[in-house]
Amino acid sequence: MSEEPVIQPPKQRFAPDPWCLRETAPDPATHFLHETLFALGNGYIGVRGTAEEGWSGPAGTSRDGTYLNGFYESEPIHYPETAYALAKTNQFMLNVPNAKGLAIWLDEERFDPLQGTLDAYERSLDLRRGVLERSLRWTSPSGKSIAVHSRRVVCFDNKHLLALEITVTPLNFSGTLRIVATLDGAVRNLEAGDDPRVGSAVSGASLELLSAEQEDGFSALVQRTRNSGFTLVSATLVDAPGTVRCSRAALRLEDACEVPAVQGQPVRATKYVSYHTSRDYPESELLPRSRALLDAARRDGFDALAARQADYLADFWRQADVEIDGDDLLQQGIRFNQYHLLQSAGRDGKTNISAKGVTGEGYEGHYFWDTEIYIFPFFLYNKPEIARALLEYRWAGLEAARRRARQMSHPKGALYPWRTIAGEECSAYFPAGTAQYHINADIAYSIRQYLDATGDDDWMRAHGAEIVMETARIWLGIGSIDRHGRFVINEVTGPDEYTALVNNNYYTNAMAQAHLEFAAALAARLATEFPADFSRIASAMALEAGEPEAWRSAAAKMHLPYDEALGIHEQDDSFLSKKRWDFDSTPAENYPLLLHYHPMVIYRHQVCKQADVVLALLLLSSRFGLDDKRRDFDYYEAVTTHDSSLSSCIFSIVAAEVGYADKAYDYFMETARMDLDDTHGNTCHGVHTAAMAGTWLGVAQGFGGMRTDGGTLRFAPTLPARWRGYRFRIHLRGCLLEVGVAAAGTRYRLVQGDALHFSHHGKAITLTAAQPEHMEAA
């Protein structure tokens, strides 16, 4: 790979401030990683945490980037040996023009914190305010000292807008100060190397220049993607003292201001930045919209944008904050993760959550099942409007999923892509891609959760039911009744990507069963309660009269592999006959196995990359007894490497349920600070959004024992020995419930809403507006 870091960052230990991430020196050893951790985003724009003056550290210690969720280029996938219906085109999130640049010149010397002397330095991200701030004092090689204060905000309340402000104070001289704002279109994407999780198979520039505009501090680049055919307008507006002079060198636009600097007198420049694309607006509107937005932002000023950001976040934390009493490191990790989730989630119905959010190019900005199974509950119970927008995205992709089903020889139904941006299958390695048919059941599962939690029948009638039924049809397309009368699903890959193309993956079959039952139940409900909707959808899908009954019958006959001798669910028909991986002889440096062994070597063994059966134990919790869960956990834990970042959170939750408190805690810790401590060694390429959401799941579903499958809300709280207590809130059916667990017991409080029924370790509880609190002693 061309841009592999040459310096490995040490494991990070930020001071355990519960609301803030603080860096105390710019350091080549941590810079690449910190670019990710200090990245800002608003679900659409994402900017990596590189400073305004850029970075002059050694090669490989930086990968600057600005990304727009869902803004992609496409390239044909080249297979040296191809086959029918393999994914033809890749889509990858583009690195777009860098508008962060604000260089400072003291006469002829350029400010660079890695040259001269840094007399003081602090960079911080306050999670309550959502502003990245930096304060430093620096002395140039020739002895001139300045104080620099910078602020950066990527606005949550306007997806197209970000702003940067820089204040420079000459401390021991008077002279000329020049601030040069740049908009740099000469950016590239990272090229793929040996690690399949990093970079894209692209070389060269993906954006062609159509025009450039510069006038009165306003600069804009109008560019078009070569293959996907989208137009992008990146624009900046500089507000600075003195005259702003513009200049241009190829794709680099500059707006410079020069001021006589007086010792002790601060000089401030503010740069407002916008990105608009033809994915959202007609091409002719892009420039006028950019101009209008930036003018309005300048009129409002940075302080007003910052104040709106703080308001937005105050509202978010009021709903979503998870408090841990007794562990500050963990508290910081949890809030950091929640904050990054908020920064990552597309919320316009056209975009989703990529595996790395908008913080890096890992996994090419693709959306996976990570959203539905890991991240969706966080938004559903904390910001339901975002959860709904995520489902809208799947609705927007239904036609593409129908087309994909036809390519895959399914005459009916819809098959969602394993990884995609705009809806088409982008997975070039089908054994760990297209073969993961469980994506259909995962989406249906999240729709069911959504409907249970919100009672949003309007959405169900308009979109949800059609998605669920169309996707359910695929199971009858790939499954069949075997000679024992069982419904079997052959040649699929389950969640565990160290086992591929198997018959009857337990997770897939169990989730397909739930999906089929749900689809049949929805069809019946629609037909009785909303007959007009039922006929409309049935005719759109050409649904035949007997189909819902066929779904029910397939579900009833579903083969769910179980080994009587071991008393465990088999991961698939062949898993238990394989040789166990020789863990004792595998050196630590050979993990993750995927970077050290051919896939077939791995597939031949009993070894799991991530939770598979164990995940089914959580999602379909009410279908298993506790003893079964414990035996499954014991068996699969022993053969799981957790090489996927999606694994430890699920093991933590199930460990808590089966009574393994220490394991629950350890797996939870692994998840909660995965990115802050860079435990997978690749956070430099972007955060792990699924694992971040796994932290929230770990509190609510793990220690809080929250389950909603089967239509009822249940809690079974436990308190980790190292904590004094914890508290989280959930939104459900118009109510806001607070669950507080401490040594004395669990306190439930209905913060908002009329009435809520749930159970505590099996005991039924009802809270009402008149009686909003209930305490259960430990």
Judged by CB under 6 A, how many residues of this single chain contact ligand BGC?
12
One residue of 32, 55, 363, 506 binding ligand BGC per CB under 6 A: 363
Q: Is 487 among the residues that bind ligand BGC (CB under 6 A)?
A: no
Cross-strand pairs, 324: 726
For residue 295, the minimal CB distance to ligand BGC (Å) is 40
Identify which of residues 559 and 609 has a Cβ nearer to ligand BGC in the complex.
Answer: 609
The amino acid at 476: L
CB burial string 634-649: b at 16+ within 10 A, e below: ebbbebbbbbbbbbbb
Shortest Å, Cβ 432 to ligand BGC = 7
Q: Min. distance of Cβ 493 from ligand BGC in angstroms? A: 10
Q: How far apart, in Å, are the Cα atoms of 126 and each of 168, 175, 336, 530?
A: 22, 34, 10, 49
Q: What residues numbered 84-123 form the site for ligand BGC, per CB under 6 A?
A: none
| 153 token code pair | 């905000």
71 vs 369, beta carbon nearer ligand BGC: 369
- Residue (642 or 729) nearer to ligand BGC, CB: 642
Q: How far is the CB of 355 from ligand BGC (least distance, A)?
A: 4
Which residue in the set 610, 683, 701, 746 belongs to the binding site for ligand BGC (CB under 6 A)?
610
Reference 379, options 696, 25, 54; nearest CA is: 696
Report in angstroms the alpha-carbon separations of 718 from 347, 544, 700, 729. 34, 49, 11, 16
Kindly state the helix (H) or strand (E) to which residue 23 belongs, with its residue range.
Answer: strand 20-23
Q: Which is nearer to ligand BGC, 494 or 702 (CB)?
A: 494
Alpha helices, H only, 579-682: 599-603, 613-619, 626-637, 648-658, 661-672
Least separation in angstroms between residue 439's CB and ligand BGC is: 9
**What's the rounded Cα separation, in Å, for the pair 164 and 99?**
10
Active-site choice (73, 497, 570, 637): 497
Q: Cβ of residue 495: shortest distance to ligand BGC, in angstroms?
A: 6
Nearest to ligand BGC of 334, 650 (CB atom): 650
Instruction: Using alpha carbons only, give the angle 276, 277, 282 rounded to the nearest 5 degrees.
Output: 105
Q: How far is the CB of 241 from ligand BGC (least distance, A)?
A: 47
Query: Smallest distance, Å, CB 508 to ligand BGC?
Result: 13
Peptide bond connecting 241 to the previous residue in cis, omega within 30 degrees of 0: no
Q: Does 435 bind ligand BGC (CB under 6 A)?
A: no
Give the separation between CA 234 and CA 240, rounded to whole angstroms: 20
Q: Which of 55, 92, 156, 369 binds ligand BGC (CB under 6 A)?
A: 369
- Specify the residue, 230 or 369, whose C-beta has the smaller distance to ligand BGC: 369
Span from 331-339, 368-376, 466-474, 624-632 in contact with ligand BGC (CB under 6 A): 368-376
- Nearest to residue 382, comparing CAs of 454, 455, 316? 316
To the nearest 10°, the Cα dihedral for 395, 400, 404, 405?
A: 40
Q: Which stretch binds ligand BGC (CB under 6 A): 205-213, 219-227, 258-266, 365-373?
A: 365-373
Cβ proximity to ligand BGC, 223 vs 343, nearer residue: 343
CA distance 543 to 413: 10
Q: What is the full DSSP assignment across 429-475?
A: -GGGTTT-THHHHHHHHHHHHHHHHH--HHHIIIIIHHHHHHHHHHH
Give the binding range for ligand BGC (CB under 6 A) out of 170-178, 366-374, 677-685, 735-743.
366-374
Closer to ligand BGC at the Cβ: 324 or 618? 618
Report, in Å, the least distance between residue 571 CB and ligand BGC.
Answer: 15
Output the smallest distance, CB 610 to ligand BGC, in A: 6
Task: In angstroms, give the least distance from the CB of 609 to ligand BGC.
Answer: 6
**Alpha helices (runs of H) in 321-375, residue ranges in sequence order:** 328-344
Q: Which helix or strand (DSSP H or E) is residue 569 part of? A: strand 568-569
Binding mask 635-654 for ligand BGC (x = CB under 6 A): ---------x-x--------
The two structure tokens encoding residue 642: 């957790």
When asked if residue 355 is in the footprint of ligand BGC (CB under 6 A), the reply is: yes
Burial 44-60 (b: 16+ CB within 10 A, else e): bbbbbbbbbbbbebeee
Give me the least distance between CB of 339 and ligand BGC, in Å please. 19
497 contributes a contact to ligand BGC by CB under 6 A: yes
Burial class (CB in 10 A: 0-12, 13-18, 19+), 521: middle
Q: Shortest distance, CB of residue 203 to ligand BGC, whole angstroms?
A: 24
Distance between CA 550 and CA 607 in Å, rounded? 35
- Which part of the chain contacts ligand BGC (CB under 6 A), choosing from 44-52, 235-243, 363-371, 504-512? 363-371
Gyration radius from the chain CA atoms: 27
Provide the sign of the torsion angle of the four alpha carbons 760, 763, 766, 771, taken in this order: negative
Closer to ligand BGC by CB, 404 or 731: give it: 404
Q: Token pair for residue 606? A: 């009993």
Which one of the spans 114-122, 314-322, 362-370, 383-391 is the region binding ligand BGC (CB under 6 A)? 362-370
Residue 497 known to be catalytic = yes
How far is 484 from 334, CA to CA, in rounded Å? 49
Count how many residues are written for the chain.
Answer: 778
State the Cα–Cα distance between residues 495 and 16, nearest whole angstrom: 34
| Residue with smaller CB distance to ligand BGC, 286 or 690 | 690
Phi and psi dihedrals of 398, rounded to 5?
Answer: -65, -40
> What is the x/- site pattern for ligand BGC, positions 306-345, by CB under 6 A?
----------------------------------------
* Token pair for 379: 């938004």
Question: Can you tell me which of 53, 75, 255, 370 binds ligand BGC, judged by CB under 6 A?
Answer: 370
Count the neighbouring beta carbons within 10 Å of the beta carbon of residue 701. Answer: 25
Of residues 127 and 593, the one with the C-beta less far from ligand BGC: 593
Site for ligand BGC in 665-704 (CB under 6 A): 690
**In terms of CB distance, is 438 or 461 closer to ligand BGC?**
438
Torsion of CA 542, 544, 545, 551, to 10 degrees: -110
Instruction: Kindly give, in sequence order, each residue whose CB lies less than 8 Å from that of residue 477, ignoring residues fewer than 6 positions away.
Output: 405, 410, 411, 412, 413
Token pair listed for 610: 């991530």
- 128 to each of 176, 300, 310, 710, how far by Cα in Å? 37, 21, 6, 36
Which of 291, 335, 609, 731: binder of ligand BGC (CB under 6 A)? 609
What are the φ/ψ torsions at residue 547 (nearest 5 degrees)? -65, -50
Closer residue to ligand BGC, CB minimum distance, 397 or 495: 495
DSSP assignment of 402-414 equals HHHHHHTT-SSS-
Report phi then psi at 307, rounded to 5. Answer: -70, -40
Q: Figure out which of the listed residues 32, 92, 316, 368 binds ligand BGC, where binding follows CB under 6 A.
A: 368
Options 180-188, 212-220, 361-369, 752-760: segment touching ligand BGC (CB under 6 A) = 361-369
Q: Which amino acid is at 159?
A: K
Residues forming the site for ligand BGC (CB under 6 A): 355, 363, 368-370, 495, 497, 609-610, 644, 646, 690
Which residues form the catalytic set?
Answer: 497
